[in-house]
Amino acid sequence: MLIKDRLKHFPRTRFVASETPLERLDRMSDHLGIDLWLKRDDLTGLGFGGNKVRQLEFYFGEALAQDADTILITGAVQSNFIRTAAAAAARLGLRSVLQLEERVPDMGAQYYTSGNVLLSKILGAELTSYPLGEDEVGADAALHKRADELRAKGRTPYVIHLGLNHPPLGALGYVACADELSCQIGDFDAAVVASGSGATHGGFLTGLRLAGHTAPVFGICVRRDRSQQNARMKTVLTKLAEMLDIDPTLTTNDIQTWDGALAPGYGKIGDQTRKTLTLMARTEGIFLDPVYTAKTFAGLLGLLKEGRIERGQKVVMLHTGGLPALFGYQAELE
Ligand SMILES: *Cc1c(COP(=O)(O)O)cnc(C)c1O
């Protein structure tokens, strides 16, 4: 069955106007001795773009099918997900409630005021805060409490969940992205992608396997170490397989992760992050973000060093966006 036909069963609101570019990075390819291609999902368009735009197509599809007038979402203070959700809500004339979690300790003033926070305020979102950063179930529960208050006032809220006890609807956006990439690229030897909630990694891996690609898809850990992330991926992939009515072992036997660039932790910039971010900017004029894509590129370099990616191979890296966060991290980057 075609991937497009499998996705037809899910309500979807289109936000990505056209295919995102697949670019060969000539100077970086020469520098690394590989054939490096970048899928530019930083250019998905809506509200400064990034990977969450594709994921939100399916959440807003469901929200509109339920006649929601307000969407609620939780994330880190500099979350790209909540910023793009606020932009999507604005485009559709819905209201948005964004819950900012304290996930990253010891950050300066700009982290709380600039970058994504500033953009979310411009978008007119209601901002609330949640004191913990590693409590997905609690964070979802707090959103539900706010949703109940809104319901009592006659509004129709829709909650975008991050917890693993809900279907990973956003992963469908990356099944679609893999389908799109498959038509752009032909054969390749390895793919490298950030692995946070796992929706992107899980959807991308599933879509590539459905499209017949067998190359390894390396998920670079940005939030949790390998053993935790592998367990998470197994759950995400199993739920996604159920949603798409496919055999879960097509993907669950095929989880590959790397966590050598995770230190000093989620949302924290280490030496590697700073180095890879400037290397990409100065070699290709392309910006990476400090939380996800600089670590993803550090992962590619790490895999190359370990020989899991070999010289001469054709490699595709997914640029998942996140660029407004650069300004929230100004003090750490200067
Ligand atoms: C959220 C995010 C990721 C991680 O995607 P998941 O689907 O949560 O794994 C990667 N890059 C950027 C820029 C993000 O905002």
CB of residue 20 inside a 6 A radius of ligand 1: no
| DSSP character at residue 48 | G
CB of residue 199 inside a 6 A radius of ligand 1: yes
- The pLDDT of residue 324 is 97
Is residue 57 in a domain? no
pTM value is: 0.97
Structure tokens at 264: 């000093």
Is residue 285 in a domain? yes
Do 226 and 293 lie in one domain? The reply is yes
What number does the ligand 1 atom closest to the CA of 80 have? 15
Confidence of residue 118 (pLDDT cuts 50, 70, 90): very high
Tell me which residue of 178, 206, 254 sits closest to 20, measured CA to CA: 178
Is residue 60 in a domain? no
Do 109 and 135 lie in one domain? The reply is yes
Strand-by-strand arrangement of the 157-160 sheet? 126-130, 95-101, 70-76, 157-160
Determine the distance separating the centroid of ligand 1 and the alpha carbon of 332, expressed in angstroms.
20
Cross-strand partners of 76: 101
CB of residue 194 inside a 6 A radius of ligand 1: yes
Do 86 and 148 lie in one domain? The reply is yes
State the distance between the two ends of the chain, measured CA to CA, in whole angstroms: 50
Do 178 and 323 lie in one domain? The reply is yes
CB of residue 76 inside a 6 A radius of ligand 1: no
* Mean predicted confidence (pLDDT) in 162-186: 95
Which residue, by CA, sits nearest to atom 4 of ligand 1?
196
Is residue 59 in a domain? no
Do 129 and 148 lie in one domain? The reply is yes
* Mean predicted confidence (pLDDT) in 244-257: 97
User: Where is pLDDT greater, at 149 or 163?
Assistant: 149
- The pLDDT of residue 29 is 98
Do 188 and 108 lie in one domain? The reply is no
Mean pLDDT of the chain: 96
pLDDT at residue 281 tops 90 = yes
Q: Of 128, 160, 192, which residue constitutes the final position of a domain? A: 160
* 230-263: b (≥16 Cβ within 10 Å) or e: bebbbebbbbbbebbebebeebbebbbbbbbbbe
Catalytic residue (one of 18, 79, 195, 197): 79
* Mean predicted confidence (pLDDT) in 210-217: 97
* Mean predicted confidence (pLDDT) in 299-316: 98
Is residue 116 in a domain? yes
Instruction: Dump the DSSP string for 263-276.
Output: TT-TT---HHHHHH
Is residue 58 in a domain? no
* Domain boundaries, position 247: 3-50+168-333
CA distance 222 to 314: 24
SS3 label, residue 163? coil
Q: Label residue 294 left, alpha or beta by phi (over 0 means left) and psi (-120 to 50 means alpha).
A: alpha
Determine the distance separating the centroid of ligand 1 and the alpha carbon of 151, expressed in angstroms.
30
- The pLDDT of residue 268 is 93
Do 202 and 327 lie in one domain? The reply is yes
Do 201 and 322 lie in one domain? The reply is yes
Tell me which residue of 290, 289, 287, 288 sits closest to 265, measured CA to CA: 290
Q: Please name the residues in contact with 26: beta carbons below 8 A apart, sequence gap of 6 or more.
A: none
pLDDT per position as a tens digit, 64-92? 999 999 999 999 999 999 999 999 999 99
Q: Are 191 and 318 in contact (CB under 8 A)?
A: yes
Q: Of 122, 141, 160, which residue constitutes the final position of a domain? A: 160
Q: Are 103 and 77 in contact (CB under 8 A)?
A: yes
Q: Of 160, 187, 217, which residue constitutes the final position of a domain? A: 160
Do 112 and 149 lie in one domain? The reply is yes
Do 289 and 177 lie in one domain? The reply is yes
Q: Are 221 and 259 in contact (CB under 8 A)?
A: yes
- The pLDDT of residue 110 is 94
Structure tokens at 324: 């407004």
Confidence of residue 221 (pLDDT cuts 50, 70, 90): very high
Is residue 61 in a domain? no
Instruction: Dump the DSSP string for 58-78.
Output: HHHHHHHHTT-SEEEEEEETT
* Pocket mutation for ligand 1, best pick of 39, 103, 200, 236 (most atoms within 8 Å of C-beta): 200
- The pLDDT of residue 137 is 87
Is residue 112 in a domain? yes
Query: How many residues are given for the chain?
Result: 334
What number does the ligand 1 atom closest to the CA of 321 have? 13
What number does the ligand 1 atom closest to the CA of 170 have? 7
Instruction: Assess whether 79 carries a catalytic annotation.
Output: yes
pLDDT at residue 134 tops 90 = no
What number does the ligand 1 atom closest to the CA of 197 have? 8
CB of residue 51 inside a 6 A radius of ligand 1: yes
Confidence of residue 236 (pLDDT cuts 50, 70, 90): very high
Do 188 and 295 lie in one domain? The reply is yes
pLDDT per position as a tens digit, 27-45? 999 999 999 999 999 999 9
Do 20 and 109 lie in one domain? The reply is no
SS3 label, residue 114? coil
Number of structural domains found in the chain:
2
CB of residue 81 inside a 6 A radius of ligand 1: yes
Tell me which residue of 276, 278, 333 sits closest to 107, measured CA to CA: 333
CATH number of the domain encompassing residue 152: 3.40.50.1100
Which residue, by CA, sits nearest to atom 8 of ligand 1?
197
